[in-house]
Amino acid sequence: MLPLDVVIMAAGKGTRMKSKTPKVLHTLGGRALLGHVMQAAVSLTARKIVLITGHEAELVQKGAAQMFEQEFKVSAPDTERSAPPILEFALQMPQLGTGHAIQQALPHLSDDGLTLVLSGDVPLTQVKTLQGLIASSLQTIKQGSDTEFDQKVDKAALTLLTLNTPNPFGYGRVLRDTKQQDKVLGIVEEKDATPDQKCITEVYTGVLVAPTVHLRSWVNSLDNKNAQGEYYLTDVVKKAVEAGIPIKTLSIHDAIEVMGVNSPAQLAELERALQLFTAKSLMEQGVRIKDPSRIDVRGELLCSEDVQLDVNSVFLGRVSLGRGVHIGPNCVISNAVIEDGALIEAYSHIEGGSVQSPVIVGANARVGPFARLRPGAVLGAEVHIGNFVEIKNSTLADGAKANHLAYVGDAQLGERVNFGAGAITANYDGANKHKTVIEHDVHVGSNSVLVAPVTIGAGGTVGAGSTITKSTEANALSITRAKQLSVQNWIRPVKSSGK
């Protein structure tokens, strides 16, 4: 196992977000920026994550600890590693630069490993890229068994992730030996660069990996004699040159991978980039997406064969779609399992309680348009839920139908039950919720109220407009409305004339 520790810098202020929420806790694709970066560290099977906080440190640490507990500890069994990394915090007060930030992390790092430096506001660096960076750093010591390999980590190179960009403004420029182009000499920050150096288009992305033992001595000897009076992490490059430690670079092609979030506009730009990336990978799996620029996956969307997605739907939490599922336009679906052949029509809202307790839509069911499935809704095969029907905490067995304008709450509907237009379960007495049981093959007439707790016996019929307060026998017809009275030749009142 590679002895890798990941340091995530997140002490900066994020002024341009103009938000009370710390920048790294703003969400991208439904997950905090910091969550994406921590996920990368988890996927790399790092042994430790050291998070450097400063501005709003308490909130950032709390957010990080919560995500760690909820997302990474739970998902750890899926990864090859048995235990997730350890999460530790380092406080940087005040913030005197990126080099100063790493100084605060040093007490948490041990010298037998490699340290990878990431930023909490750069969320889309791909794990593959980081693996490439680490592999490149280790190439210098490739031979030998795993244990020998570990012992030689100090021989690994300082490796910088770089980008060639036509617009290098603001970035640190990579300085190379003019005679020996593969030889890196240093990084110069925008504010310290000469006009000639400003023309360099190869920039440092903010990501580097180095043997910890060297990083420690370099970072401890930094000074702040520069245009900004800051301790620059980037000055470690010239220290490595002085020490004769090999320096390598890995050039990245997709600028999105190293783009940081500083403003709402940049956050939105990365959101679209991430969504497009997700849409493309779904399409590669065979999912047919009407317009890849009009889909939002804020979580995990798992699709079987022949899934079709119309425009403008939002998927949250974990949603899984079975074979041949169609999702109509403008649906919002969170934490749901939609089984094979089901059809979710336009403007439907499906909201599972959590990843662990999703809404279930059975095979070949039809939901919507304008249907609402709330937490605890479990629909069997071939169930039909029509427009303006709300289902909450209820089970509908195979073939049950509620096609128009109905509320089904805390209920259990048997097979082939027909729940008529405008019928409702009155499940709440003002203090407690009660259960309604509707057995197989019951027909509930339109505009009926079933006052829970109540059971409608199998095969029974409830006459339209009835208010049922007592349980009924199997196969019975139950009606509670008044008998119809017709007055012949009835003359309607007329408006009185005059005053």
**Which residues is 467 bridged to in the sheet?**
449
How many residues of this chain bind Mg ion (CB under 5 A)? 1
Q: Cα separation of 461 and 474, whole Å?
A: 9
Residue 120 lies near ligand UD1 (rule: CB under 6 A): yes
Residue 189 lies near ligand UD1 (rule: CB under 6 A): yes
Residue 89 lies near ligand UD1 (rule: CB under 6 A): no
The angle formed by the CA atoms of residues 127, 132 and 135, to the nearest 5 degrees, is 125
Interior/surface letters 361-372, b for 16+ CB within 10 angstroms, e for the rest: bbbbbbbbbbbb
Q: Which of 17, 67, 96, 158 binds ligand UD1 (CB under 6 A)?
A: 96
Output Rg (C-alpha) for the chain, integer angstroms.
31
- Alpha helix stretches (DSSP H) within 22-126: 33-43, 57-67, 73-75, 98-105
Tell me the residue nearest to Mg ion as measured from the CB. 260
Site stretch for ligand UD1 (CB under 6 A), options 8-16, 248-256, 282-290, 339-347: 8-16
Site stretch for ligand UD1 (CB under 6 A), options 118-126, 363-371, 390-398, 453-461: 118-126
Please give the residues from 334 up to 393 whose contact with ligand UD1 meets the rule CB under 6 A. none
Mention every residue, 6+ apart, whose C-beta is less than 8 A from residue 62. none
The angle formed by the CA atoms of residues 284, 288 and 291, to the nearest 5 degrees, is 100
**Which residues is 289 bridged to in the sheet?**
309
Question: Which of ligand UD1, Mg ion, none binds 214 (CB below 5-8 Å, type-dependent)?
Answer: none
Mention every residue, 6+ apart, whose C-beta is less than 8 A from residue 451. 426, 467, 468, 469
For residues 238 to 267, the per-residue mask of contacts with Mg ion, x marking binding by CB under 5 A and - elsewhere, is ----------------------x-------
Our CB check for Mg ion shows the closer of 165 and 395 to be 165
Site stretch for ligand UD1 (CB under 6 A), options 77-85, 94-102, 325-333, 352-360: 94-102
Residue 117 lies near ligand UD1 (rule: CB under 6 A): no
Is 404 catalytic? The answer is yes
Mention every residue, 6+ apart, whose C-beta is less than 8 A from residue 485. none
Choice among 55, 214, 253, 404 that is catalytic: 404
Our CB check for ligand UD1 shows the closer of 97 and 445 to be 97
CA atoms within 13 A on the CB side of 108: 23
Residue 171 lies near ligand UD1 (rule: CB under 6 A): yes
Residue 257 lies near ligand UD1 (rule: CB under 6 A): no
* Binding stretches for ligand UD1 (CB under 6 A): 9-12, 52, 54, 92, 95-98, 100-101, 119-121, 171-172, 187, 189, 203-206, 232-234, 260
Catalytic residues: 404
